[in-house]
Amino acid sequence: MSTTTINTQAIPHKARKRFGQNFLHDPGVINRIIRAIGPRADDHMIEIGPGQGALTNQLQATAKKMDVVELDRDLIPFLKLQFGLNDNFTIHEADALNFDFASLQQSDEQLRIVGNLPYNISTPLIFHLVSFANIVQDMHFMLQKEVVDRMAAGAGENNYGRLSVMVQYHCKVDYVFHVGPGAFNPPPKVDSAIVRLTPYKELPHPCKDIRLLDRVVKSAFAMRRKTVRNGLKGLITGDELSELGIDPGLRPERIALESFVKIADYLADKQL
């Protein structure tokens, strides 16, 4: 695999705060990310926020098909100039938060999604992306380290919350490696990390109604200092929680994914 990178210094573009832009420029980190992704010749790669093309260059050179989703219209001309003549490259000027990633799927192929995600929209974007888990092989993202810690946290850990539960419902979460601020231009004020999300082919804890599960989890963690009995007041009683084998006196961060699924399925059955 080639380890060359483009000369981003030649691009007259200033990072925009409103887009949460911090451009990756460290060749060592870039090559380490590429090795972690492991692009192959038969891959259909999707990159969110290619920016100055630090990852795009090597991914496009390897993949069968490369689609990029970029919101900053000032970057579009450069990306078209750099990659637009390649038959396997397509750019979509769009907001990833409401982009239909299923529209990029060809036949029954599985997509591989990557991106240095804007930290200011990372959580809602992750929730949007996992809704396409059934057509995705894997996802590799650069995120604020705190967000990756939350995604990977297990029940009983301080960082465990709604993001942990809902991402882990759909995907296996792997913390890949830490990235310091110096790898970016401009350097962010926080540390970053690479995370790998691998959607399950068969869900370990399938629920009857995913929207109801999300409602239960969201309600429980809306008041995370309260017990699950109080957090889910109006949805389920303490006695009903006990009947499901769940201690109603526990705080939500002590409740495992499978227990939240039990609650949601119980409520789904009650609605029938």
SS (H, E, C) 100-169: CHHHHCCCCCCEEEEEECCHHHHHHHHHHHHCCHHHEEEEEEEEEHHHHHHHHCCCCCCCCCHHHHHHHH
Q: What is the pLDDT of residue 21?
A: 53
b/e 97-119 (16+ beta carbons within 10 angstroms → b): eebebeebbeeeeebbbbbbbbb
pLDDT (tens place) for every residue of the chain, 272 residues total: 333 334 444 444 444 444 445 678 899 999 999 999 999 999 999 999 998 888 999 999 999 999 999 998 888 999 999 999 999 999 999 999 999 999 999 999 999 999 988 888 899 999 999 999 999 999 999 999 999 999 999 999 999 999 999 999 999 999 999 999 998 877 888 999 999 999 999 999 999 999 999 999 999 999 888 999 999 999 999 999 999 999 999 999 999 999 999 999 999 999 86
Q: pTM here?
A: 0.90
Structure tokens, 119: 């930290």
Q: What is the pLDDT of residue 51?
A: 85
Report the C-alpha gap between 17 and 38 in whole angstroms.
Answer: 31
Report helix, strand or coil for 195.
strand
Instruction: Dihedral sign for Cα 58, 63, 66, 68, please.
Output: negative
Report the C-alpha gap between 13 and 8 in whole angstroms.
Answer: 9
What CATH code would you report for 210-271? 1.10.8.100
- Pair type for strands 111-116 and 136-144: parallel
Are the C-beta atoms of 52 and 77 separated by less than 8 Å?
no
Topology of 8-199 in CATH? Rossmann fold (3.40.50)
Q: What is the pLDDT of residue 185?
A: 78
Q: For the chain, give every domain's residue range.
A: 8-199, 210-271
Structure tokens, 127: 């929730």
Q: What is the pLDDT of residue 118?
A: 82
